[in-house]
Amino acid sequence: MELFHSSMHLLSHHSSFMSPGTDFLLQPIFIRGFSGSLHLLLLFVLLVSWLWKKFKVGDGGGAPKEGSRNGTALYYRHTLICCLAVSALSVGFCLFNYFSWNKQVWSEEKLVTLFDLAIRTLSWGAVFVYLHSHFSSCDEPKFPFLLRVWWGFYFSLSCYCLVVDIVLYQKHVALPVQSLVSDAAFLVSALFFIYVGFIGSKEGRDTLLEEPLLNGSRDSSVGNTAESNKSTGDATVKIPFSNAGIFSILTFSWMSPLIAVGNKKTLDLEDVPELDKGDSVVGSFPVFRNKLESERGALSRVTTLHLVKALIFSAWREILLTAFFVLLYTMASYVGPYLIDTFVQYLYGRREFEYEGYALVSAFLVAKLVECLSRRHRIFRLQQIGVRIRAVLVAMIYNKGLTLSCQSKQCHTSGEIINYISVDVERIGDFTWYMHDPWMVVLQVVLALLILYKNLGLAVIATLVSTIVVMLANVPLGKLQEKFQDKLMESKDRRMKATSEILRNMRIVKLQAWEMKFLSKIIDLRKTETGWLRKFVYTSAMTTFVFWGAPTFVSVVTFLTCMLLGIPLESGKILSALATFRILQEPIYNLPDTISMIAQTKVSLDRIASFLSLDELKPDVVENLPRGSSDTAIEILDANFSWELSSPNPTLKDINLKVSHGMKFAVCGTVGSGKSSLLSCILGEVPKISGTLTLCGTKAYVSQSPWIQSGKIEQNILFGKEMDRERYEGVLEACSLKKDLEILSFGDQTVIGERGINLSGGQKQRIQIARALYQDADIYLFDDPFSAVDAHTGSHLFKECLMGLLSSKTVIYVTHQVEFLPAADIVLVMKDGKITQAGKFNDILNSGTDFMDLVGAHNEALSALDSVGVGPVEITSISKEDNNSASTTGAVQKVDNRDVQDSKIDDLGVPKGQLVQEEEREKGKVGFSVYWKYITTAYGGALVPFILLAQILFQLFQIGSNYWMAWATPVSADVKPTVTSSVLIIVYVALAVGSSFCILFRSLLLSTAGYKTATIVFNKMHLCIFRAPMSFFDATPSGRILNRASTDQNAVDMNISNQIGAFAFSMIQLLGIIAMMSQVAWQVFIIFIPVITACVWYQQYYIPSARELARLVGVCKAPVIQHFAETISGSTTIRSFDQESRFRDTNMKLMDGYGRPKFYTAGAMEWLCFRLDVLSSITFAFFLIFLISVPEGVIYPGIAGLAVTYGLNLNMLQTWVIWNLCNMENKIISVERILQYTTSIPSEPPLVIDSKRPDHSWPSQGKVDMHDLQVRYAPHMPLVLRGLTCSFPGGMKTGIVGRTGSGKSTLIQTLFRIVDPAAGRILIDGIDISSIGLHDLRSRLSIIPQDPTMFEGTVRSNLDPLEEYTDEQIWEALDKCQLGDEVRKKQGKLDSAVSENGENWSMGQRQLVCLGRVLLKKSKVLVLDEATASVDTATDNLIQQTLRHHFSDCTVITIAHRITSVLDSDMVLLLSHGLIEECDSPARLLENESSSFAQLVAEYTMRSNSTFE
């Protein structure tokens, strides 16, 4: 008040010597009056304009058009906010002046000033309303002309006011400070209005990005156009970040449209704008790859250093920019501590110059704003670098995975490689946060020491020494963390590898009742992992204790040194030191994280570098000649090939082969003779030891195990080619796929589950063949594609595909079916990796024993047909075949019609849906129940109160110790201390030690709770997954499950407990600071309440967008992992079709789809933090102005100074609270996703029902009865089995035959209760299988499945995973299945290694291992599901003999494509479209020539005797 009086007195005195003509121009009363009049005129014009529009224009305007804001002027929203801000400032100054002058005499000048501010408030409020109403119903690209004229006047007026202030100041006239501040603020707003009115409006037409953002995704065509433009390289596509102006970039306003959309609707991926080219993988990857290659030079190895250099080079501009921001931030953050002592002296009354208080407040405020801007931009840019680094690393790993050699693949399984992407790349991306911390710590320590030297002199040496001691204390902890992290990652790899393999083979695991055994295997691997996790989290807890205690330790040592050296401790200097220590806390707090992160990142970089150094397929194995340049399609000269180069025995020896264009070569031989390896070597997959291999033309390959991509059937067949409808239809016809597609609800648009899970084996194989045919290649390689289909379909495929569509092509086909050999131009016979015979079928028939053995076995099988009297049927059926199978087709036609009708009835009122649905994503706010479940999982939440209590006590001790130092030390050297130095230090040390122990207690409890919760959550999720029905695995791509088991579980292991803790702790700290500041000046609540309200409003406005962006990050990551897993498993097929570049492009698109929400999540976070920082800076400024405004002596300077030191951290802490809250919401989504699997996955029926346990000897007879059995795979899908009633007598052999898709495999799945019947029941020995436990049922039945499965491990673990048998029994089983000699040859015998999926065993050998399993189990009921499809006829006969001998008294149910496999059965069941068409003994069925079984046998016989020539 005194200041105001003196200024008014001086101004009136000064006016006496001004010239009479011009003095009024400098009078405040004139300026305020003139300003008020202009604003009144503006108000009047706006009112008239509104009335004119209301009464004259009337209703003529009509409704505004949809999306009419497309052309709205640039900075429309900012202008609205600025108008509102000017109005708010005016009312603020008006109220401030009113209360300031309330107790004084009112003069004309004061009244005019208040009038001016009141009219300003109203007029700018009116401008806001006018703009809002005008622009919501019009699409003008510029602001109205009159409004821009007014802004011109307003700018002139604001300049005039400030110039007058400067003139008066130079004439030494004191002015009220509020007058100066208001004039400066109004000029800043006027500058903005001039910019948007006259400069910005020129660019305002078409802010391309805002259009789809503001209108959500209403007009998706706009987004699609933008995307297509982007893909064609159209430069007009705008991206918010790269096209934002400087003001928008500084304030993160370019994020506002996206956040606005997220506030109105749930964000989807199409709402998220594209990435800038520099941040997308398409733009950044070539730069990274080229740099890495130039760094590596001629070296084949990629070192960690090469990788780091290439990563730095790919983002060097952003790294330098962030380094500048770090420098700016560090300098600005030390302005506060530097000035604290001066501020305390000022409050004490020691003033250097007249306006020192305002100068100090301005310095504090400017430093805060610079600190805020540089911090926000540093964090955002570092995350931008993280997005780029993740993208390029994933692309690099993907490309490497696509070119890995077979040996390298065996070293690194798909599970491990998935970990590289899901964990290691993420960690390296997260490291960007810590990138500058090492040198920033040095800079902060140096600046801190300089400030401390200024205040405390030589005591700074003690500070330096104690800081170094603290940092050195971290070295052993850092090393331990690195070691534990390394071990943790290794154990995580092993677990993920096992999980991936089990998920892939879940069907066989369930059929064999092994799920609990394999679950215990995963739990055991997890136990090893949690052993290292426990060590890691407790080491982290110790590190936290050391460094939270570090600032207290440093301050205690420093103050003790001051006392010993006799350096006087004054409150100002103490506070300056405390503020410096508090800022020093940030690098010291972050140092353990930084060191831990450096250690973790180094481990991850080493792992990725070693992976990138693995051997690739050698490009020189195959010499490719241009199409049409040679008459020879394939030529191999004196070549030796070996899968293992170190092995003394090559896989393929002395291969000489010449194949001319258009020739058909057949390859045959016994199991393991090298047939598949021969095709692999032609593809360039097998390392070449010597010789030459030349190919001329394009190639297509059909593998023995079908590789099907998840996606539509059409996409699988086209495989990257353009649609040619005529050719496509021809291929479908040739592959017998048309009928299958008619049955499927969505036809060729049906989405196939992962690995073709919702298709039968035959359908998968035919889609694979269709894919090859559609490619129209020159050379076709078929690896026994007819084994998975029935006799009729096999004949059709051979005739239509190989002999029809491919009649002019070069074809090499491997087959076990002798009947397909005569059609070949040349037959190759292989044995032990050599081509033992080659020539025409008839020529080689008598020239060697190997081929004679194969043909002899085939003839032996055919003789079985004669023994049951096939003769006459054969002739009639052949004649029927010649007449286009009239009667058979008629029968099938009738069934088809009935099937279609039935399926229509089944589908009435039931929505049709694809098997594989989009990944479910929770929407809206993360429920409190998720947090509650998480925090009460460990010990029922009993530790939570103790953790909070420890933090509250820590905060009290911290504030108490600092309060004690501020209160007990004198303000200056000439003031007598309140207490002695020894008491001062003893109390301080006691409080400091107390706070340190609270932190230790808190850290240990938090680590314990987090570790315990992670373990419980893991066990629950995996139990639910392993107990899920097979339908869950059919419909859920394994990528989704693996994502939860790796990324989400990793977040629960390492982050979430710390994140929830950080939120609670920062909240407690913030409340402590507010309490401290309020204790000094309760008036601070006047500004605190509206600022906190604004902060909460901003947070609520922001969180819907942030939450959905975080969920999108989770949802967009699974496709990347799934696509990667599919690519690794199908890399041979992809390479054989030369489709690598298309798959790389798909990976890049998926990676950018993941990078987009990641990038905009970072932008949204900084958008919020910037606004919170500004609001807290306003609070701090208000607090400082209040402190310098109160009369001297009202507030104790030391305590006021303490409040200011805490206030310096206010903006950071306020932002930290909201940031932690938002981050916690984002991270808790991992818990939410895991809880989805623990609560919403349906469970299979119980494994064991104690009250219904069957007798140990059950089934003793093996009689199987079915009553009206109806089965469907899902409630919305049609019936597959439609009322089967039949009986399989005990101890007899029953063969089940039928065309592909007739329901054979479904019947077997129902027998094992993989699918439960919709109606009807199955009885085994009189017991309803639905009434007993699944484990009791499945463990008593045996099966040799269609797809032979082996797990990584040993021969022993594959035959006896439950460890129930002795070595003697295992050897006996191996000998019975003809594998004993093969295993004895191996070095490890029963402990010989089996690689992932049994890749180091041939398909036939794997099938024999499956036979070995059932021989060990000796069940009374044995099921053979097309068990001999992958073996040659001789091995098939051998298997049949073994089964006849060892299972003579068992019920054997056989599904077979080879009719010979079921001819010796006691009974044959023929299925057609889910119904039993025929059921009788084979002999009786064959007596009836018109029976469907007789037709099948006739087809098989005809095919076997035919040469297909």
CA distance 693 to 1464: 46
pLDDT tens sequence across 779-817? 899 888 877 676 677 778 888 888 888 888 889 988 877
| DSSP collapsed to 3 states, 916-958 | CCCCCCCCCCCCHHHHHHHHHHCHHHCHHHHHHHHHHHHHHHH
The answer to whether the CB of 789 falls within 8 A of the CB of 1300 is yes
What is the predicted pLDDT for the residue at 324?
92
pLDDT tens sequence across 380-434? 999 889 888 888 999 998 888 888 887 777 777 777 778 888 888 888 888 888 8
CA distance 430 to 1238: 29
What is the predicted pLDDT for the residue at 205?
37
pLDDT band at 916 (very low <50, low <70, confident <90, very high): low
The answer to whether the CB of 1370 falls within 8 A of the CB of 1416 is yes
- Quickly count: other Cβ atoms within 10 Å of residue 624's Cβ: 15
**1468 three-class SS:** strand
Helices (H), 975-1046: 981-1026, 1030-1035, 1038-1043
- Please give the share of the chain, as a percent, with pLDDT higher than 90: 2
Residue 312 predicted with pLDDT over 60: yes
pLDDT tens sequence across 546-583? 877 777 888 888 888 888 887 777 777 787 787 777 77
Q: What's the average model confidence in pLDDT over 1423-1428?
A: 73
Q: How far is CA 1225 from CA 319, 430, 943, in A?
A: 29, 18, 22
CA distance 1458 to 1428: 9
* Token digits of residue 137: 């119903």
pLDDT band at 949 (very low <50, low <70, confident <90, very high): very high
CA distance 8 to 19: 19
Q: What's the average model confidence in pLDDT over 998-1025?
A: 90
Longest CA–CA separation in the chain, Å: 137
| Residue at 1032: amino acid letter | F
Q: Backbone phi, then psi, for 1271, in 5-degree steps?
A: -135, 135
Give the Cα-Cα-Cα angle 182, 185, 187 (nearest 5 degrees). Answer: 110
Q: Backbone phi, then psi, for 1310, in 5-degree steps?
A: -70, -35
The answer to whether the CB of 35 falls within 8 A of the CB of 167 is no
| Residue at 707: amino acid letter | W
**Residue 1285 — left, alpha, or beta (φ > 0 → left; ψ -120 to 50 → alpha)?**
beta
Residue 70 predicted with pLDDT over 60: no
Which of these ranges, 78-92, 232-246, 1230-1244, has the smallest mean pLDDT? Answer: 232-246
**Residue 1129 — left, alpha, or beta (φ > 0 → left; ψ -120 to 50 → alpha)?**
alpha
pLDDT band at 506 (very low <50, low <70, confident <90, very high): confident
**Sheet containing strand 1264-1272, strands side by side:** 1279-1288, 1264-1272, 1319-1324, 1327-1328
Which of these ranges, 152-161, 173-182, 515-524, 1099-1108, has the smallest mean pLDDT? Answer: 173-182
CA distance 643 to 689: 10
- Please give the share of the chain, as a percent, with pLDDT higher than 70: 83
**Residue 259 — left, alpha, or beta (φ > 0 → left; ψ -120 to 50 → alpha)?**
alpha
* Token digits of residue 506: 């879940």
The answer to whether the CB of 140 falls within 8 A of the CB of 68 is no
Residue 906 predicted with pLDDT over 50: no
pLDDT tens sequence across 579-594? 777 777 666 666 666 7
Residue 1176 predicted with pLDDT over 60: yes
CA distance 666 to 829: 9
Which of these ranges, 11-25, 513-527, 891-905, has the smallest mean pLDDT? Answer: 891-905
What is the predicted pLDDT for the residue at 567?
79
| Residue at 35: amino acid letter | S
* Token digits of residue 961: 């110790």
pLDDT tens sequence across 1444-1496? 788 888 888 888 766 766 777 888 888 888 888 888 888 888 887 778 788 77
What is the predicted pLDDT for the residue at 142?
67
What is the Cβ-side half-sphere exposure of residue 1133, based on CA atoms within 13 angstroms? 24
pLDDT tens sequence across 1076-1115? 777 776 666 677 777 778 888 888 888 888 888 887 887 8
Rounded to the nearest integer, the mean pLDDT of the chain is 77
* Token digits of residue 64: 């505004």
What is the predicted pLDDT for the residue at 753?
66
Residue 1508 predicted with pLDDT over 70: no
* Token digits of residue 584: 């020093």
The answer to whether the CB of 744 falls within 8 A of the CB of 714 is no
Residue 533 predicted with pLDDT over 50: yes
Bridge partners, residue 1354, by sequence: 1393
Helices (H), 1281-1342: 1304-1311, 1334-1340
**741 three-class SS:** helix
Residue 1170 predicted with pLDDT over 80: yes
DSSP 195: I
DSSP codes, 254-286 = GGHHHHHHHHHS---GGGSPPPPTTTSHHHHHH
Which of these ranges, 307-321, 386-400, 917-931, has the smallest mean pLDDT? Answer: 917-931
Residue 470 predicted with pLDDT over 50: yes
Q: Backbone phi, then psi, for 664, in 5-degree steps?
A: -115, 120
Burial state string for 1015-1048 with b = 16 or more CB within 10 A and e = fewer than 16: bebbebbbbbbbbbbbbbbbbbbbbbbbbbbbbb
What is the Cβ-side half-sphere exposure of residue 1142, based on CA atoms within 13 angstroms? 12
The 8 Å CB, 24+ separation contacts for 1153-1156 are: 1153/269, 1153/1116, 1153/1119, 1154/1113, 1154/1116, 1154/1117, 1154/1120, 1155/275, 1155/279, 1155/280, 1155/281, 1155/387, 1155/390, 1155/391, 1156/269, 1156/272, 1156/273, 1156/274, 1156/275, 1156/1116
The answer to whether the CB of 140 falls within 8 A of the CB of 178 is no
